[in-house]
Structure 1
C-alpha cells in the first residue's frame, strides 16, 4: 500500500479550499435568496442558475480540486482525465440546481426540503468520487466502505442544511455565518472521503495519460475569477426594493408599474367665500355676442 499525503504543501491548500467554499457559499446564498423574491419565472431561473454555479461550481468543484493540489502518492505521478473532470463539474452544478429548483418553487416544507437535499447531496458525493475517478496513476484505488458511507451522509446533511439556509437566511451577518458553516461541511465531506482512499501501486509502470493537477490550476483560477466577478455584477445590477416599488418586469424588461402609486390630481381653485367672483360667459356655447345697438352709448 502506497503512502498518501493529503497536505503536501502544508496548510496552504486546505486554507485556500476553505476560502473558496466560503466565498462560493456566500454568493450562492445571496443569489438563492433572490429566487423567492423574483417576480417572474425567468428571473427565478436566472437566480437559480447563478446560485447553482456559485455553490456547485465554486464552493464544491473548485474547492475539491484546490484541495487536490496538496494530494500526493509516494512512488507515482498523478494525472487527471479532462473529460471526466469536466463531467464532475456538470454533476456538481446540476445537483445543486435541481435541489434549488425543488425548494425554490412553491411553499417551503419539510418533504420538499428533504427531497431537494437528497438530490443535492447525491450530486455533491457523485462529484467528489467522479473527480477521484478522473485520477490516473500507477496504482489501483481502493475505498473504505464505512468512511465512504460517512462522507455521503455528511454530503446529504450538509446539502439539506445549505438549501434550508438559502431559503431562510437574508441578513448579511447571518449569511456570512452560514457560509462559514457551509465551508466547514463541504471541506469535512471532502477530507472524509479522501481519508477512505487507499492506493496499491502496480509493479509495472505504464505511460500515464491526462494532465497534471497543476495544469488544472489555471482553468480553476480563471473560472473562479470570471464566475465571482459575474456573480457580483449580477447582484449589483439587480433592481433594489425601491426600484420594484415603481417599476415592474414585463417580458424581462423594466416598465412602469401599473399598480404603482397614482399621479397626484391637479390643484383645484380655492372656493369663492363670498360667491361674488366674476365669471365671464363671453364666447361660451349658447351665449350670444352683444349687438352694436347694445354697445352704443346712450
Structure 2
C-alpha cells in the first residue's frame, strides 16, 4: 500500500477549501432566501441559478478541488482528466439547482417533506461530485474506498444538507442563516475528509507518462471562473433589498394608492408599469422570510 497524504502542502489548501466552502454555502442559502420571496417565476429562477452556482460550484466542487491540491500519493505523480472534471462540476451545480428549486416556491406547504427531499438531492450531488473528481485522477496506483467510510460520508452529506436547507427556510434571522451555512459546509467538508480517510492506494507496475493534465490546465481556470461567479453573487446578494426594505416600499405604494385612488405603481413609476406590480403572494413570502 502506498501512503496517502491529504495535507502534503501543509494547512494552506485545507483552510482555503473550508473558507471557500462556507462562502459558497452562505451565498447558496441567501440565494434561496431571495428566491422564496421573488415576486415572479423569472426572479425565483434567477436566484435559484445563482444559488446553484454558488452552492454547487464554489461550495462543493471548488472546495473539493482546492483540498485535493494538497492530496499526494507516495511514489506516483497525479494528473487530471478534463472531461470528468467538467462532469463533476455539472453534477454539483445541477443537483444544487434541483434542491434549491424544490424549496424556492410553495410557501410552507409540506415544508419538512420538501426540505428532506431537497437536502437528499443536494447531499447525493455533493457525494457524486467527490466521486467524479476522484475518478478524474490519473496516477500509477489503484484507489479503493472502504465501504463503511463511504456509507458514513454519504450519511454526513445528506443529513447535513437536510438540516441546512430546513433551517434556512423554516427559521428566520441572520443567526439561523449562518447556522444553515455552517451545517452545509460541515456536510461538504466532512464528507470529503471522511472519504479521503477511508481511501487506500496500491501502486501499480505501470511507468511512463500519465494521461491528462496538471491542475493548472483545466482546474485552475474553472476555479477562477467560479471565483468570479462567487464575487458577482456576493455583490448581488449584498445589494439586493432585504425583506424590511421591500415591505416599506409596499407601504409607501399603498399610501400613494390611498391618496390618489389609482394604481400606486402607475403613480410611482409612470403609465404602463402597473402590470409589473408584485403579487400579494410575494408580500407574504417576504413577511415569512426575515433576512
Assess same fold via TM > 0.5: yes
Alpha-carbon distance between aligned partners in 2 of 1:111 and 1:264, rounded to the nearest angstrom? 45
Residues 79 and 208 of structure 1 are in contact (CA less than 8 Å); yes or no, is this contact kept in structure 2? Answer: yes
Alpha-carbon distance between aligned partners in 2 of 1:123 and 1:160, rounded to the nearest angstrom? 13
Residues 36 and 103 of structure 2 are in contact (CA less than 8 Å); yes or no, is this contact kept in structure 1? Answer: no
Residues 158 and 182 of structure 1 are in contact (CA less than 8 Å); yes or no, is this contact kept in structure 2? Answer: yes
* Partner in structure 2 of residue 138 of structure 1: 140
Residues 77 and 139 of structure 2 are in contact (CA less than 8 Å); yes or no, is this contact kept in structure 1? Answer: yes
Q: Give 1:218 deviation, angstroms.
A: 3.0
Residues 33 and 166 of structure 1 are in contact (CA less than 8 Å); yes or no, is this contact kept in structure 2? Answer: yes
| 5+ residue gaps, structure 1 | 248-255, 267-298
Moved more, 134-143 or 224-233: 224-233
SS at match of 2:49: helix
Residues 7 and 71 of structure 1 are in contact (CA less than 8 Å); yes or no, is this contact kept in structure 2? Answer: yes
Residues 117 and 163 of structure 1 are in contact (CA less than 8 Å); yes or no, is this contact kept in structure 2? Answer: yes
Moved more, 152-161 or 127-136: 152-161
* Partner in structure 2 of residue 197 of structure 1: 199
Moved more, 228-237 or 190-199: 228-237
The one-character-per-residue Cα deviations of 1:162-214 (angstroms, maximum 9, x if unpaired) are 22133234423332343233322211110001112111111131421112235
SS at match of 1:117: helix
How does the TM-score come out when normalised to structure 1? 0.79
Figure out how many residues of one structure are paired with residues of the other and give that number. 258
* Partner in structure 2 of residue 53 of structure 1: 53
Q: Kindly report which structure 2 residues correspond to 1:230-269, keeping only aligned pairs within 5 A, or say none.
A: 230-241=232-243, 242=245, 246=249, 261-262=256-257, 264=259
SS at match of 1:264: helix
Runs of 4+ in structure 1 displaced over 6 angstroms?
A: none
* 2:122 is aligned with 1:127: no
After superposition, the Cα gap between the structure-2 partners of 1:151 and 1:169, relative to the gap in structure 1 and judged at 3 Å, is same
Structure 1 or 2: larger helix share? 2
Residues 104 and 167 of structure 1 are in contact (CA less than 8 Å); yes or no, is this contact kept in structure 2? Answer: no
Moved more, 101-110 or 116-125: 101-110
| 5+ residue gaps, structure 2 | 262-291
After superposition, the Cα gap between the structure-2 partners of 1:184 and 1:236, relative to the gap in structure 1 and judged at 3 Å, is closer
Tell me how large the CA RMSD over aligned residues is.
2.4
Alpha-carbon distance between aligned partners in 2 of 1:17 and 1:121, rounded to the nearest angstrom? 18
